Structures are given as C-alpha cells and as structure tokens.
Structure 1
Amino acid sequence: MLVRAWYRQATWLWLLRPLELVFRVVVQLRRKAYRYGLATVYRPPIPLVIVGNITVGGTGKTPVVIALVEALQARGLRPGVVSRGYGAAPGARFPHQVSDRSDADQCGDEPLLIHRRTGAPTVVDPDRSAAVSTLLASAEIDLVLSDDGLQHYALARDFEIVLMDALRGTGNGFCLPAGPLREPLGRLAEVDYVLLRGSDDPIQGVRYDVQGLRPVRENDAGEQAAPLPGSAIHAVAGIGQPGQFFSTLEEAGFVVGKHSFADHHRYTEQDFAAFADRPIIMTEKDAVKCRSMAHAQMWYLKISARLPEPLVDAVAALVRSPA
C-alpha cells in the first residue's frame, strides 16, 4: 500500500512530512560525521565502485553487477565483489567467502548468484569494510565492486553508480517514510553515473536480454524439454518488482499464473506443493535457493543486462589510472 502511494503521489503522504524532515536531518548528520572524521572510514588500497540505489526496493542491481564484472573480466581485469548478504539465515557467520559449496542461507541469494555467474571472488559481511579486508587478503584483484552500499559511508569509494527505474523514477520525490528516497534528490548530483533501467538511452540506459530457460536442477540440463510459449505455467518471483518478471513471461507468450513472494524469500518444498499441475518458471535469483528441492519441471529465466560502454570505460579507467 505504501509503495503504491509513493509512486501514485497520494496526497495523504503529506501527513508524513514531519517524519520525513526528521529522517533528512538524521541522514545529513550521519554523512557529516563521516565527512568530518567523527566516524571511522575505511579506504581500501585499490579502487572501489559502489553499485547502489537512492530509492527503496529492487532496481535490478544484481544483473548490473554481474554484467559489469563480466565486462571487466573481458578486458583482462580482476574484479572482486562484496555484499551485505541480505537473505542469509539468522545466525549466519561473517565474513563469508562465497564458493561453489555455499548456499543462500550462508551468504544470501544475490552474492551467491553473482559468484555462480561470474566466478569472481565474492565476500559477504554486513560490515562491508570487513568484507573488503577479507577479500583483499584472500584474492588478487584489481578493484572492488560493492553490490549496494551507497549509504554505507563507513566504506570509502572511488566511483558511485546509481541505478533507477526509468518508468518509476523517484516517485513523489520525498524521503522515507513519506516517499521512496533513502537520501534527498540532491544526492544524485554527487554520484558519478546514473543508470536508467528500461531506457534505450545510449549513455544511461540499461536493457535486459532474455537468454532462455534453464533447468533449476543443473543435472537436468538437456534431459527435459523446456515449456514452450503458449504453455500454461506457474511463475514464481521473490524479488523487489515481480510484475516486470511476470510481464516478460507474458510477452514471451506464456499463460502465466502469478505467485509473488517477499524479496529474499527462503523457499521450502511446501511453497511449491500446489504447483504440480504445470511447469514452474522462476527468476535466477530464486533458482539459486531452490536447487536442493527442485524437480524436473522447474525452470528459471536467464537474463543479462546490457550496459552502456561509457560506463565500462569509466570503471576500467580507475584501474589504469596512476595512484
């Protein structure tokens, strides 16, 4: 309800403006504490790039991080990744170096997906400074990409990328709780690059290429035929904006039964008990959590982000620039 009100610019949100003003003051004081040395800031010895957002909710950061890692690797660079690890189980131990043996309960779904797609050294810790220290001690890398963390000012950064939804924008332009902004709009003027998800702009636009269906259970590759367009399927999404995933499947021609779960939902077999009558298609982020319980008719939709070349050039130049 609140999210819909933010983006529909409901007039009753003005009642929350006094709380928003308090939020703005807290944000400003916190930033000044780090800026003027009243709070400790960790600066790594190699370039660090933040991929974050200024609004609450999913904006597709993880595919962007994956695409950026792959683009840098294609140029012969060695990026590493740090993440807070949203979705890890209570009691998970940090820092956690993500490996092929990791599961989402240990490290969260997004860092697990990033590591499996790219092979990049990845470390998870709510204290991102500790994550970077562990990463540097365990891998030879040229730069660090932080998946989220725009507001994590305890970690110094050399380049900030903000991802926004081209259609939704910044909603009503208010900060929490009266609007979706984590920081005032003026913060956008300070970042190095703004990306617009769903835009065709050659400088700022990010589009997502659909690369087909893959079996959730990896050993089923080539054993089962994927559902074809026109088929009735159950679509499962535990992401920030599930509507876009469902729309992609509908545009591909599937007859979609829509099933939304909370972002970072921890799936159980019971979640799928009522879906045995049709194939199931989920996001790749969901699939990394479901492999141990998957059956032969569970698939995920593989997508990849297309980044503007000027962004890749700018990030790669950080490594080549003299210290």
Structure 2
Amino acid sequence: MSLEHSWYRGAGWLKLLRPVSLLFQFLSARRRLSKTAAQWRAPVPVIVVGNITVGGSGKTPVTLALIEMLRERGYRPGVVSRGYGAKAPYYPYPVTPETSVADGGDEPCLIAQRTGVPVFIDPDRPAGVRALLESGDCNIVISDDGLQHYALARDVEIAVIDAGRGLGNGRCLPEGPLREPPERLLQVDRVILNGAGAFAFNGATQMRLKPACLIELASGQKVSPDQWSESRKVHALAGIGHPARFFDTLRALGFDPIEHPLADHAELSHEQLRLSPALPLIMTEKDAVKCRGWAPSGCWSLRVEAQFDNGFESWLDSRLNSLKQKYGSP
C-alpha cells in the first residue's frame, strides 16, 4: 500500500510519523508568519485558488471557470502559477498557447491554451504578478494553487476539496495529506467541494465537473460524448492527482476503460500512446497538452467544465462589489 493510499485508509502505522508531522506543522506555521509579515500587495485584486491537501482536487477547472466569470463581468484576468515541473529558461516566464509543457508546465499551458489570458510562472509569486501587470492589459489576478504562497497578499481565498477523498486522516505531512491543519479552511473565504462524497463543510459550494466534449488531438475534431461512434472499449490515461475520478467519469459516460493511471504531472512518451489492443485512447486535458503536436490519430481528450451550485456566482458578485470600493470598477 502506497503512502497516499494509507492516508485515506487510516493506516495505523502512520502514527510513527507523527513527530515529523508535528515538526512540519510547526515549520509551516512559522514560515507563514514570516512571509505574511513581509507580504507584497498588488495594485489590483488578487484571488487565490488552492487547497490544503497534496494531490489533485479540481483547482484548474475552478480557475478556468473563474476566468470566464470575470470576463463576463468586465474584468481582464491574468494568472500566476508556480509552474510545477517546468524548466523555464528564466523567471518570471510568460506562458502562451504556443509554450511547451517542458518550459511552462502542464497546468499553466492548459490555462493559456483554453483561455488565451496572460499567464506567468515563477516560484516567487510577487515577482510573477509584477511581470504579469507589466506585460499588458490585466486588472485582476488569479493565483493558481497559491494558498500557501504567503509572500503575496490576497483579497479572496478559495479552497477546493475533493469531496470523495476529503482530508484523509486529517493529519499534516507526512503522517497525512495536509499541507496545513484542517482549521485553515475556517479562514478562507469560500470552500468548494468537488464532486459527491462523504466530506462536508458548512457553507461550502458544491461543484461538479460536467463532460463537455471529446477532442481528437491530431485533427481537432470535437464530438459530444453521446455522439461517440467508435468503440466504447477504450484505453484511458490520466496523469492527475486522483486518476480514479477520471476513469469513473468515463464509465458514467458509457465507456469501458482500460485504466492507465500515471503520477500527477508525469511526462508522456510516444511509447505510452502506443497501446495494445488497438483501441481509441482518451486522456485528460492536462495530459493532452503534453503531447500536443505529435499525438497519433485515435488519441482524444475529454474536456470538462466546472458547474457550481446556484449560490456561487451571487457570492462572487458580492465579493467583487466589495473589491470595487477598494480598487475601483474594472
């Protein structure tokens, strides 16, 4: 059993790691105090989207949805990210729809390709925001996976939690999956629960990822899931934080997937796309950006869109109205 599985199954041996977990929690709290004391505040509103667990929770779909909501309300959003796994030639580094995943990271590249908004990656979030604002027309910033990057002051904090997995055993690393204690959720402005599950949080927004269409990577052809005419037996590839969620989505759409789970942010090779038997291959959008331009025919990505309960946009409008008093209208 892997360490990650142990976190979510309550393995008793994890208690042996508690001294290290308590040390991690202490050092994290001290780091937060240090960074917060010297925070840099941008001259425009900053919205942070993040979580308190390691692994995937659905942050990127939330960021994509926020970008469109902000545009509809007259804002010109930009995004800053760490660019996990990227080997950018310099920092801050601009990520465009043409940027390679090797340089920009899979999630920043996906955001740039899907939305066309300006995106910068930099381990130093304030430096990334300064570059973003200097680069052009941006009047509101989304800090993707930025909850623990306390050097950057923020106006709104959104934490995304996988409702199916929750907080695991509720312990901080390495005894559990938490970057910060569970009480941190009481301090954010909004908690979003992704999908169905046993985990609950008072006042949280419910979100589901709605399958929108399948896109063939080589041709760009788009097909709605109910119009799929090829084999329902497919290869399914997912290099995300929780691959099982993707495979379950395919099954709910009527597919019979042969599962190929990969580590989050894993690189892809030509060999990994040559699977036997010869069947269509469906992958996540985050994986699709890694093989853009060289994927063979028969490789598809499943586009999903975040859908929120009715109260989320009203809450967002309320927060934006408050920000207008501080920063002015967009």
Q: Fold conserved (TM > 0.5)?
A: yes
Correspondence for 2:296: 295
Q: Match for 1:119: what amino acid?
A: G
Q: Match for 1:11: what amino acid?
A: G
Give the 5 Å matches for 1:118-197: 118-197=115-194
* CA deviation after TM superposition for structure 1 residue 122, in Å: 1.0
Correspondence for 2:260: 259
Correspondence for 1:13: 14
Contact 1:111 1:122 in 2 (8 A): yes
The RMSD of aligned alpha carbons is 2.1
CA 91–50 in structure 1, closer or farther in 2 if over 3 Å, else same: closer
CA distance in 1, matches of 2:280, 2:118: 34
CA distance in 1, matches of 2:138, 2:147: 21
CA distance in 2, matches of 1:69, 1:279: 32
Q: Match for 2:169: what amino acid?
A: N
Contact 1:72 1:312 in 2 (8 A): no
User: 5+ unaligned residues in a row in structure 1: which ranges?
Assistant: none
Q: Match for 1:288: what amino acid?
A: V
* CA deviation after TM superposition for structure 1 residue 172, in Å: 1.0
Correspondence for 2:57: 59
Q: Match for 1:237: what amino acid?
A: A
CA distance in 2, matches of 1:213, 1:315: 35
CA distance in 2, matches of 1:18, 1:115: 41
Correspondence for 2:44: 46
Contact 1:143 1:319 in 2 (8 A): no
CA 107–275 in structure 1, closer or farther in 2 if over 3 Å, else same: farther
Contact 2:190 2:204 in 1 (8 A): no
* CA deviation after TM superposition for structure 1 residue 184, in Å: 1.2
Q: What's the CA shift string for 1:169-204, capped at 9, x where partnerless?
A: 111111111111111112111111111111599951
CA distance in 1, matches of 2:96, 2:277: 32
CA distance in 1, matches of 2:88, 2:49: 26
Give the 5 Å matches for 1:1-323: 1-35=2-36, 37=37, 40-88=38-86, 90=87, 92-199=89-196, 204-220=205-221, 227-228=228-229, 231-275=232-276, 277-307=278-308, 308-323=312-327
* CA deviation after TM superposition for structure 1 residue 316, in Å: 2.9
Contact 2:236 2:247 in 1 (8 A): yes
**Sequence identity percentage:** 46
CA distance in 2, matches of 1:91, 1:147: 17
Q: Match for 2:102: what amino acid?
A: D
How many pairs align? 317
CA distance in 1, matches of 2:105, 2:118: 15
